[in-house]
Chains A and B, each alone.
Chain A
Amino acid sequence: MRASSLFFTLILALTGLFLVSLYHGFSGNYQLEGKLAATCTFTRELGITDLALFTEARYTRHPSQADLHAAFQDHPLALEHFPTGSLVPVPNRLRQ
């Protein structure tokens, strides 16, 4: 088989997969509300205001409900206790 034929096969396969991913993604855009319907109903019924993504500290759990200086609430020099506000990993000694 010629190198160019191999290349065309590869590019065609990759283009095909790329188009499938685009179709999958675009159809996902339309199905999004349907797939999230149960979560939306749950949110409406309970009056939930925040996502449970940052559960590590009280003041990061509900960012939208925190006051403007929530990070300072413990004492004035407590700029940031938790890496939710940064990208610092947990020190190894704290994992032990």
Chain B
Amino acid sequence: MKRILRTQQYLIDYTLSSLGRRRGKNFGLLLVYTLIVFFLASVMLFAQSLKREAEIILRNAPEIVLQRLIAGRHGLIPGTYLQKLDPLPGVAEKRGRLWGYYYDPAIKANYTLMVPGADPPACGKIRVGATLARVRGLQPGFFLNLRSADGGIFSLQVAEVLAAQSELVSADLILLCEADFRSFFHIPDGMYTDLILRVRNPSEIVNVARKLTVLLPDTRPILRDEILRTYDAIFNWRQGMVLVLMTGSVLAFVIFAWDKASGLSAAERREIGILKAVGWETADILRMKFWEGAIVSLTSFFLGYLLAYVHIFYTSAMLFAPVLKGWAVLYPHFRPIPQVDGFQVATLFFFTVFPYTVATIIPSWRAAITDPDMVMR
């Protein structure tokens, strides 16, 4: 055992000195290889983390949201519809929701104004999302002036800034009381933006939704599963877009690495020939070439993966934020919670380390089984 280990150590010593002779080329390869692993791992970790967080948070969304459609567009829904839902079994809770958008020309951003179902702020007071507070420089006690539907100035006092922990869902939120909301947007009493229904038994949700479309034909139910699927699709799509954009560089790397690994240069052939001539076995040459591939690919994998981990979970995915942010003025400060999917890491490892290592062995084997004299010529 000790002898085997010592042999491998000598082989690695030789391989490292051999790599050192072509320092520039090998360092370039290591750098590009590390960058490719870094980008692939970053996309993988970021998409996975966003998908998981979205899934956990949105599992708490209402089971059914009921929108009224007027001429094919979302319209206000009368509160009387709530009574029409009384005969529906399985509905544990139902209420009207009041929410809407307000475009603030001062910072060129859209706010979401909402009336909480329970514990609303006192009239004239508001609770604001942490991002909005940061961008507008708001603190408790400050006033926020908005232009209401009739053009008048509506002055609301900030009672509280919502916890930064929930910024992912509350970045642009303004919570206010029902009376303020109705007078601000001129929404008549008894009308709501939409209705939400809580259904206790998950297997009943589809049945309830089906009955809703019969009972209230001018409405459209949106199920929680659809919300979850929407976000899954959004993140898959964005991940796909990044990967498609990266395909060109990945292919360029594959060609470069393949050329480097599989096509032996004249100097490398001569080296193999000399080694054979001085008494190296074919197996020794193959081991030496295996170590060459393994040193480059393992080092690149570890470096690339660790850099990606730090990039996503400790710098809040600094490089990807502009992609998600778009033109948004109110973008939440959020740091993905560290998490990994073992299967994805294993897949990344397999597809980045193995092909390169194998690709270095095959051409060396061809050169190693040829007569040393032929190889050196």
Contacts and interface: CB of A to CB of B under 8 A. Distances in A.
Interface of A: 2-4, 7, 10-11, 14-15, 17-18, 21-22, 24-26, 28-29, 31-33, 35-36, 38-58, 60-61, 63-65, 67, 73, 82-84, 87, 89-90
Given A14-B306, A52-B131, A3 B13 contact: yes
B171 interface: yes
5 nearest CB pairs, A to B = A25-B340, A14-B302, A52-B171, A28-B338, A64-B227
B245 A53 contact: no
Given A10-B299, A45-B118, 5 more contacts: A21-B305, A43-B166, A47-B97, A50-B227, A61-B110
Given A25-B339, A64-B222, A56 B110 contact: yes
A52 to B, nearest CB: 4
Interface in B52-95: 52-54, 56-62, 65, 67, 69, 72-74, 95
A4 B14 CA distance: 9
A63 B327 contact: no
A82 B327 contact: yes
A87 B323 contact: yes
A39 B57 contact: yes
A57 B172 CA distance: 12
Interface in B119-137: 119, 129, 131
B129 A52 contact: yes
A28 to B, nearest CB: 4
B65 A14 contact: no
A15 B302 CA distance: 7
Contact of A40 (B57, B101, B162, B172): B57
26 contacts: A2-B13, A4-B10, A17-B306, A18-B302, A21-B305, A21-B309, A21-B340, A22-B342, A25-B338, A28-B340, A29-B339, A29-B340, A33-B56, A40-B56, A42-B169, A43-B61, A47-B196, A49-B222, A51-B58, A53-B331, A58-B101, A60-B326, A63-B231, A65-B65, A65-B67, A67-B220
Contact of A31 (B59, B112, B337): B337
Contacts of B61: 43, 47-49
Contacts, number: 194
B328 A11 contact: no
Contacts of A44: 60
Interface size class of B (residues with CB under 8 A): 35 or more
A67 to B, nearest CB: 6
B43 interface: no
B332 interface: yes
Contacts of B53: 32, 36
B153 interface: no
B199 interface: no
B368 interface: no
B173 A52 contact: yes
Interface in B293-338: 295, 298-299, 302-303, 305-306, 309, 322-324, 326-332, 337-338
A56 B222 contact: no
Nearest to A63: B230
A82 B323 CA distance: 12
A36 B337 contact: yes
